[in-house]
Structure 1
Amino acid sequence: MTSKRMKNDPNRWYCSFRYVNLDGETKQKKKEGFSTKKEADEFERNFLNNIKFNPEMNFKSLYKMYLEDMKPRIKEHTLTNKEYITENKILPYFKDMKISEIGSIEIQRWQNSLLSALNHSTNKPYAPTYLKTINNQLTAIFNYAVKFHNLQNNPVHKVGTIGEKHAPEKEIWSLKEFNTFINLVEDKTLHLGFNILYWSGCRIGELLALTWSDIDFKNNMININKSYQRINGKDVITEPKTKKSIRKITIISSVIEEIEAYKKLFYKPDPDDRIFNCTKHKFEHGITNICKRNNLNKIRIHDLRHSHASLLLNEGINIVALSKRLGHEKVSTTLNIYSHMIPNDDKILNVMENLSVTKS
Structure 2
Amino acid sequence: MTAVREENGSWTSQFWYKDIYGKRKHKCKRGFGTKADAEAFELDYTNRARGSMDMRLADFVDVYAEDVKPTIREYTWATREYIINDKIIPKFGTKRMRDITVLDVIDWQNEILAFRKENGEPYSETYVRTVNSAFASIMNHAERYYGLHPNPIKKAPRIGSKNARGINIWSKEQYLRFSESQTDDKLLYIAFEVLYWTGVRTGELLALTPADIDFVGSTLYVRHSYRRLKRKDLITDPKTEKSIRQIALPEFLRDELRDFVYNVSPTAHDERIFADLSSAKLKAAIAKGCAMTGVPVIRVHDLRHSHVSLLIEMGFSAVAIGDRTGHESAEITFRYGHMFPGSQEKMADALQSYRED
| CA shift for structure 1 position 144 | 0.5
Go from structure 1 to structure 2 and tell me whether the alpha carbon gap of 1:346 and 1:331 turns closer, same or farther (over 3 Å shift).
Answer: closer
How many positions carry a matched residue from both structures?
308
- Identify the residue that residue 168 of structure 1 maps to in structure 2: 165
Q: Trace 1:338-357 onto structure 2 (pairs within 5 A).
A: 338-345=336-343, 348=346
- Identify the residue that residue 223 of structure 2 maps to in structure 1: 225
Supply the distance in 1 between the matched residues of 2:99 and 2:292 (Cα, whole angstroms). 53
Q: Trace 1:135-154 onto structure 2 (pairs within 5 A).
A: 135-154=132-151
Q: Trace 1:111-126 onto structure 2 (pairs within 5 A).
A: 111-120=109-118, 122-126=119-123
AA of the residue aligned to 2:286: I
Supply the distance in 2 between the matched residues of 1:350 and 1:318 (Cα, whole angstroms). 19
| CA shift for structure 1 position 296 | 2.3
| CA shift for structure 1 position 240 | 0.8
Equivalent position SS for 1:237: strand
- Identify the residue that residue 282 of structure 2 maps to in structure 1: 283
Supply the distance in 2 between the matched residues of 1:343 and 1:267 (Cα, whole angstroms). 42
Deviates further, 156-165 or 202-211: 156-165
Deviations 1:54-94, CA, capped at 9 Å, x for gaps:
22211111111111212211111101111111111211111
Deviations 1:251-306, CA, capped at 9 Å, x for gaps:
21111111112123467632111111132222112112221343320000100000
Equivalent position SS for 2:155: helix
- Identify the residue that residue 309 of structure 2 maps to in structure 1: 310
Go from structure 1 to structure 2 and tell me whether the alpha carbon gap of 1:222 and 1:156 turns closer, same or farther (over 3 Å shift).
Answer: same
| CA shift for structure 1 position 29 | 6.8
Structure 2: 5+ residue runs without aligned partners? 1-18, 20-25, 29-44, 351-357
User: TM-score under structure 1 normalisation?
Assistant: 0.80
- Identify the residue that residue 213 of structure 1 maps to in structure 2: 211
Asked whether 1:130 is paired with 2:127, we answer yes
Equivalent position SS for 2:247: strand
AA of the residue aligned to 1:306: H
AA of the residue aligned to 1:308: H
| CA shift for structure 1 position 338 | 1.2
| CA shift for structure 1 position 145 | 0.4
Supply the distance in 2 between the matched residues of 1:49 and 1:62 (Cα, whole angstroms). 9
Deviations 1:208-257, CA, capped at 9 Å, x for gaps:
11100111111211010111000011001001111111111012111111
Equivalent position SS for 1:123: coil
Asked whether 1:56 is paired with 2:54, we answer yes
Equivalent position SS for 1:229: strand
- Identify the residue that residue 78 of structure 1 maps to in structure 2: 76
AA of the residue aligned to 1:297: P
Confirm or deny: 8 A CA contact 1:139 1:154 kept in the other structure. Answer: no
Confirm or deny: 8 A CA contact 2:48 2:55 kept in the other structure. Answer: no
Supply the distance in 2 between the matched residues of 1:78 and 1:346 (Cα, whole angstroms). 38
- Identify the residue that residue 260 of structure 2 maps to in structure 1: 262
Go from structure 1 to structure 2 and tell me whether the alpha carbon gap of 1:304 and 1:167 turns closer, same or farther (over 3 Å shift).
Answer: same
Supply the distance in 2 between the matched residues of 1:68 and 1:89 (Cα, whole angstroms). 20
RMSD: 2.4
Confirm or deny: 8 A CA contact 2:54 2:97 kept in the other structure. Answer: yes
Go from structure 1 to structure 2 and tell me whether the alpha carbon gap of 1:50 and 1:312 turns closer, same or farther (over 3 Å shift).
Answer: closer
Asked whether 1:334 is paired with 2:326, we answer no
Percent of residue pairs bearing the same amino acid type: 35
Equivalent position SS for 1:90: helix
AA of the residue aligned to 1:309: V
Deviates further, 251-260 or 170-179: 251-260
Equivalent position SS for 1:80: helix
Deviations 1:313-353, CA, capped at 9 Å, x for gaps:
1111000011111112x32222222122122357648999x
Structure 1: 5+ residue runs without aligned partners? 1-20, 22-27, 31-46, 353-360
Confirm or deny: 8 A CA contact 1:195 1:255 kept in the other structure. Answer: yes
User: TM-score under structure 2 normalisation?
Assistant: 0.81
Supply the distance in 1 between the matched residues of 2:171 and 2:285 (Cα, whole angstroms). 19
Go from structure 1 to structure 2 and tell me whether the alpha carbon gap of 1:183 and 1:351 turns closer, same or farther (over 3 Å shift).
Answer: farther
- Identify the residue that residue 155 of structure 1 maps to in structure 2: 152
Of 177, 180, 184, 2:177 maps to: 180
Deviates further, 252-261 or 188-197: 252-261
Confirm or deny: 8 A CA contact 1:206 1:228 kept in the other structure. Answer: yes
Of 92, 108, 111, 1:110 maps to: 108
| CA shift for structure 1 position 187 | 1.0
- Extract structure 1 runs of 4+ deviating beyond 6 A: 47-50, 349-352
Equivalent position SS for 2:54: coil
Supply the distance in 1 between the matched residues of 2:293 and 2:335 (Cα, whole angstroms). 30
AA of the residue aligned to 1:195: E
